[in-house]
Amino acid sequence: MIVKDLLDSCNIENVTSVIMEIASVDESDRLSVKKAHSLYIQRIRSIEPVNTNHIIFGVSFLNDGKETPDALLFSKNEIDKSLLSDSMLSTLKNIQSLDLNDIEQILETTTLPSSYAFEFSPWNEILGYELFVPNINSFGADTLLAVIIYEMTFCGFTEEDHQKEVQKLREAIAETESIQKLPEEERKKYYKDAKDVFAEFGYQDTRTEKEKQQEREQLYRETFINHTRKYAILKEYLKSL
């Protein structure tokens, strides 16, 4: 099954309602935003998908204590079956009992396949991404498609707007690469450290050391939980092969 199949069978009203929640659209704007997404979904149904040997999974990630739906894109060639046995994550029993040092060690020593952003990808490629049916069933078809559509419309609702943003990205990448080739003293002229940026906007960090430590621990724990969720999805997929 591919994204295009899910798109063709979806209930547009349900999908656009989920998009409104994901994007936190104000009530006063919902009617116009839903209409724009509904027309977009109907329009892209005519696009012919292409195969890129990529697969996309739905996942709920923790972000500052809040569950956030997301979509992870992988190259199928980079998902290795050795992941099932080689990762320390395969032997974990009770993650709640892990202290911060344990979590840091596991995050530093376990490597999962890279997932890729796809908001700048051509729409025909996105529609051709493969889907894993058990993941669709557990995550929810409407939610998965809503997350994908939300990413697809990141640069606008027309091919022209999309291409303009892609071109801006290419130009920004080219500029960054040219800066990186400069001598170190020249490169410094183009960058500011965090302290300078905070000072420019009048921001002052008033957190106590205890609060900083608590926030650091929460960040590590959330990163670790998200790491295990990503691993669980890949493990289920690999077992099906």
Map 134-190 to HEC letters: HHHHHHCHHHHHHHHHHHHCCCCCCHHHHHHHHHHHHHHHHHHHHHHCCCHHHHHHH
- Contact, 186 vs 109, CB < 8 A? no
The pLDDT tens digits for 171-182 are: 988 988 898 888
Dmax over Cα atoms in the chain, in whole Å? 57
Neighbours of 183 (CB within 10 A): 7
CA 214 vs CA 65, 102, 199, 224, 225: distances in Å: 13, 16, 24, 15, 16
**Residue 155 φ/ψ, nearest 5 degrees:** -100, 5
The pLDDT tens digits for 210-241 are: 888 888 889 989 999 999 999 999 999 999 98
Does residue 87 register a pLDDT over 80? no
| DSSP secondary structure code for residue 103 in this structure | H
When pLDDT is cut at 50, 70 and 90, the band that residue 185 belongs to is confident
Question: Residues 144-172: what's their mean pLDDT?
Answer: 91
Question: Domain tally for the chain?
Answer: 1
Looking at residue 86, its pLDDT comes to 64
When pLDDT is cut at 50, 70 and 90, the band that residue 142 belongs to is very high
Q: Which residues pair with 210 in a beta bridge?
A: none
CA-CA distance, 20 to 212, in Å (whole number)? 33
Q: What's the chain's length in residues?
A: 241
The pLDDT tens digits for 4-20 are: 999 999 999 999 999 99
Q: Which two tokens stand for residue 99?
A: 């202290």
Q: Looking at the chain, list the stretches that DSSP marks H as alpha helix, in order from N- to C-terminal side.
A: 3-9, 12-22, 30-44, 83-86, 100-109, 123-127, 133-139, 141-152, 159-180, 184-187, 194-200, 209-239
Looking at residue 117, its pLDDT comes to 94
Looking at residue 1, its pLDDT comes to 96
Question: Residues 83-94: what's their mean pLDDT?
Answer: 72
Does residue 204 register a pLDDT over 90? no
The pLDDT tens digits for 186-197 are: 887 887 777 777
Q: Which two tokens stand for residue 137?
A: 């069933």
Looking at residue 47, its pLDDT comes to 97
For residue 8, give its domain range.
3-239
Query: Which among 197, 20, 219 is positioned nearest to 100, based on CA atoms?
Result: 219
The pLDDT tens digits for 18-74 are: 999 999 999 999 999 999 999 999 999 999 999 999 999 999 999 999 999 999 999
Query: Which among 52, 43, 47, 10 is positioned nearest to 147, based on CA atoms?
Result: 10
Question: Residues 152-173: what's their mean pLDDT?
Answer: 89
Virtual torsion, Cα 174, 177, 182, 183, nearest 10 deg: 170
Neighbours of 184 (CB within 10 A): 6
